[in-house]
Amino acid sequence: MRMWMVDPRILCNRHLLGEHVELHMFVGTINHNISLTGYGRNGLVEVHNIKSRHEELVKEMKMRGMNHKSPLPSFREFQFGKVNKSKNIKELSKRCKDCKIRIKKA
Ligand SMILES: [Zn+2]
Ligand SMILES: [Zn+2]
């Protein structure tokens, strides 16, 4: 699970949907009281931004004609974690040719 936290427009459909699903999984993890320490240490999560990030990704999904049916469940929000956006842009362009094309166009 990871939050990319980059401009949603540069994410390919697969990575857009992937991050969206993983936000729901992070909420599930929090609601089961499972620790996110490892994710925080590795810069994969910003708990305090899950809700706003979810809104941002759903907006982009709708723009692309994708469905969004299940609302994000409520969860305990707390200040935790920091994601490095510019590092993630490099990471995405390295591991995904579709994201790479979008990054170049942006
Ligand atoms: Zn959702
Ligand atoms: Zn991608």
- Of 68, 30, 32, 65, the closest CA to residue 50 belongs to 30
Cα of 21 from ligand 1 centre, angstroms: 7
pTM value? 0.96
Cα of 34 from ligand 2 centre, angstroms: 28
Average pLDDT, the chain: 97
CA 45 – CA 51 distance, rounded (Å):
12
Instruction: Give the tens place of pLDDT for each residue, 18-68.
Output: 999 999 999 999 999 999 999 999 999 999 999 999 999 999 999 999 999
Residue 70 has pLDDT above 90, yes or no: no
Q: pLDDT class for 8, splitting at 50, 70, 90?
A: very high
Amino acid 106: pLDDT: 85
Cα of 50 from ligand 1 centre, angstroms: 10
* Domain residue ranges of the chain, discontinuous segments joined by +: 8-105
